[in-house]
Amino acid sequence: MILSVDASPYLDQTLGTSGLRKPTGHAMQPHYVALFMQAVFAELDVAGATLVVGGDGRYFNDEAIQTILKMAVAHKVGHVVVGRGGLLSTPAASALIRARRAKAGIILSASHNPGGPDGDFGIKINAAHGGPIPIAVSDAIHRRTRTTSHYAIADMPDIALDRDGRHQVDGCLIEVIDGVTDYVALLETLFDFDRIADLFRSGFTMRFDAMHAVTGPYATELFQRRLGLPAASLMNQIPMPDFGGLHPDPNPHHAADLVDFVAGRAQADFGAASDGDGDRNLIVGRGLVVSPSDSLAVIAANAHLVPGYRGGLAGVARSMPTSRALDRVAASLGVPCHVTPTGWKFFASLLEAGLITICGEESAGTGSNHVREKDGLWAVMMWLNILAERRQPVAEILRDHWQAHGRDYYQRLDFEEVDAAAAEDLMETLRRRMPLLAADLAGRLTVTEVNDFAYTDPVDGSMATRQGVQIIADEARIVYRLSGTGTRGATLRVYLERFAPRGEDHRRLPAEALAQVQALAMQVADVSRFTGRTSPSVIS
């Protein structure tokens, strides 16, 4: 029996950088998820279609998934492929959407944000190509949510998600599958598993932190069962609804135990972590943390050592705030380097058109054309395959890289949960002052350009404006933008970069190399006055 339920629309269901993200308690309000999904199903026109559904296992996911399955039946969806236990990592979901020729994917995750009743909840919608829906579609969904005052849902028992199976309900096939097998098979087409297993056999030691999030089962199958890594090398590998009380953001701040073990105490050759939904990564070597921007550049420069990329790269891409280390690699390889706004959807368009092979971001996302999302385990496997070929320590690979290309010292400062109006005011004031900044900074920075980044997608011509203010100087760059993934107040991100060319000292600590740029960045935008903070909450 199909029920039509009346309810008042919620007016705050705006989709941000990566789908709908809200505090869990907010998303658990009556009918909140169902009304949002009604708008999604109507906009995507899902009758007869195949959908992929899964998530990172965070608190409230199981309940939300049952709602979505019952609504899929009511909307006459033909086939729903759902991960066992409701689990699918974001990259695995992307692969599955493509493999099953699904019309869309629904990924229940707030990514790297904490989970649990006091944490965050989220819903990401992916398109048939496997990547995030474009802005035009997310805007259309948001418009619909504002007037959606009923939803259709089947009156049926919950579907058992604890084991694989096929459930035929009223013309809709709900297929529960193990999300791990197909994904590991895809990685096997790209990487030399034997060489990596050899590396582990040779005494090379690794530590992987799954942060009690979705990659635990994937990492166990991949690293332990397939590549022979000892079980003790995996940390926090059991997914938990509250991520064990941890914050599943793989940066030096939230993955401090891993960083201390590998970089601090030098007790393993290599360390890595991934986030809530498995699309981000952290790479750590004995004695050092690799910045995401450097990791992207090293991966691109060494991709020819990995079987899946031996044919070369069509092009590469980075998000605007990401350091320019990738641009230098692209120039040396003679391939185009695209610069996009923040948000994987912009890369998905370029990947889909075959314009790029590898792309990534300062926010710890790296990926390739094997899927249309960033992929944490893929990045770890790229490093392992490169290490298996080069047989050098991570620190030496970076040193060689900087010697060849120069080093872009890089840091991101996050001012989290600041007053939203004050943060907007800071950005607007900065925008108004853009024409004056070069003169203001004269003598301290050789400013060549100040702009509010705008982008035209070379594939479909769509435009994105107001994507962040950048001050570009000969020797450095400062970028300011507001995060689109926070759920409380606003998060101001300030990105700092300073270039040390070939032959200069590359062994300084980023904080020290960037101290002067940081002081300028704080002063130019009057960060302390607007935010009430004299220092950032997180530095990565």
Q: Find the binder of ligand G16 among 279, 294, 408, 457 (CB under 6 A).
A: 279
17 binds ligand G16 per the rule CB under 6 A: yes
> Of 378-386, 396-404, 442-450, 483-491, which part binds ligand G16 (CB under 6 A)?
483-491
List binders of ligand G16 among 27-56 (CB under 6 A).
none
Q: Among residues 393, 386, 370, 397, which one has the least CA distance to residue 196?
A: 386
> Of 134-142, 212-220, 285-293, 360-368, which part binds ligand G16 (CB under 6 A)?
360-368
> Of 3-11, 28-36, 220-228, 339-347, which part binds ligand G16 (CB under 6 A)?
339-347
As a whole number of angstroms, the distance between CA 478 and CA 246 comes to 31
484 binds ligand G16 per the rule CB under 6 A: yes
DSSP single-letter state for residue 508: S
293 annotated active-site: no
Q: Three-state secondary structure along 9-54?
A: CCCCCCCECCEEEEEHHHHCCCCHHHHHHHHHHHHHCCCCCEEEEE
| Number of Cβ atoms within 10 Å of the Cβ of 265 | 11
Q: Is the dihedral of CA 306, 309, 315, 318 positive or negative?
A: negative
Closer to ligand G16 by Cβ: residue 323 or 363: 363
366 binds ligand G16 per the rule CB under 6 A: no
361 binds ligand G16 per the rule CB under 6 A: yes
94 binds ligand G16 per the rule CB under 6 A: no
- Give the shortest CB-459-to-ligand G16 separation in angstroms: 17
485 binds ligand G16 per the rule CB under 6 A: yes
209 binds ligand G16 per the rule CB under 6 A: no
Closer to ligand G16 by Cβ: residue 233 or 274: 274
Q: Find the binder of ligand G16 among 365, 367, 510, 536 (CB under 6 A).
A: 365
DSSP string, 444-478: T--EEEEEE--EE-TTT--EE----EEEEESSEEE
As a whole number of angstroms, the distance between CA 438 and CA 447 comes to 5
Q: Find the binder of ligand G16 among 212, 280, 286, 318 (CB under 6 A).
A: 280
Ramachandran area for residue 58 (φ above 0: left; ψ -120 to 50: alpha; else beta): beta
Kindly list the distances between the CA atom of residue 411 and the CA atoms of 85, 112, 314, 380, 419, in Å, as whole numbers in the listed order. Answer: 38, 19, 29, 21, 23
DSSP single-letter state for residue 489: S
> Of 234-242, 358-366, 394-402, 509-517, which part binds ligand G16 (CB under 6 A)?
358-366
Residue 275 near residue 213 (C-beta atoms within 8 A):
yes
Contacts of 431 (CB under 8 A, 6+ apart): 452, 469
- Give the shortest CB-3-to-ligand G16 separation in angstroms: 33
- Give the shortest CB-108-to-ligand G16 separation in angstroms: 12
- The β-bridge relationship of strands 407-418 and 538-539 is antiparallel
The pair of structure tokens assigned to 423 is 């943060």
Residue 54 near residue 217 (C-beta atoms within 8 A):
no
Q: Find the binder of ligand G16 among 50, 220, 363, 368 (CB under 6 A).
A: 363
Size of the site for ligand G16 (CB under 6 A): 16
Q: Find the binder of ligand G16 among 14, 205, 483, 516 (CB under 6 A).
A: 483
The pair of structure tokens assigned to 269 is 């050759």
> Of 208-216, 219-227, 387-395, 477-485, which part binds ligand G16 (CB under 6 A)?
477-485
Closer to ligand G16 by Cβ: residue 236 or 363: 363
> Of 145-153, 359-367, 417-425, 494-502, which part binds ligand G16 (CB under 6 A)?
359-367
| CB environment 502-526: b (16+ within 10 A), e (fewer) | eeeebeeebeebbeebbebbbebbe
The pair of structure tokens assigned to 390 is 């080069």
Element (H, E) at 332: helix 325-333
List binders of ligand G16 among 486-505 (CB under 6 A).
493
- Give the shortest CB-75-to-ligand G16 separation in angstroms: 26
254 binds ligand G16 per the rule CB under 6 A: no
18 binds ligand G16 per the rule CB under 6 A: yes
As a whole number of angstroms, the distance between CA 96 and CA 416 comes to 34
Closer to ligand G16 by Cβ: residue 408 or 414: 414
Catalytic residue among 89, 94, 109, 111: 111
- Give the shortest CB-156-to-ligand G16 separation in angstroms: 31
- Give the shortest CB-343-to-ligand G16 separation in angstroms: 5
79 binds ligand G16 per the rule CB under 6 A: no
Q: Is the dihedral of CA 276, 280, 283, 288 positive or negative?
A: negative
Angle (CA) 494-498-503 rounded to 5° is 160
Element (H, E) at 195: helix 193-201
Closer to ligand G16 by Cβ: residue 13 or 319: 319
Q: Find the binder of ligand G16 among 55, 343, 376, 468 (CB under 6 A).
A: 343
111 binds ligand G16 per the rule CB under 6 A: yes
Residues that bind ligand G16 (CB under 6 A): 17-18, 111-112, 279-280, 342-344, 361, 363, 365, 483-485, 493
Catalytic residues: 111
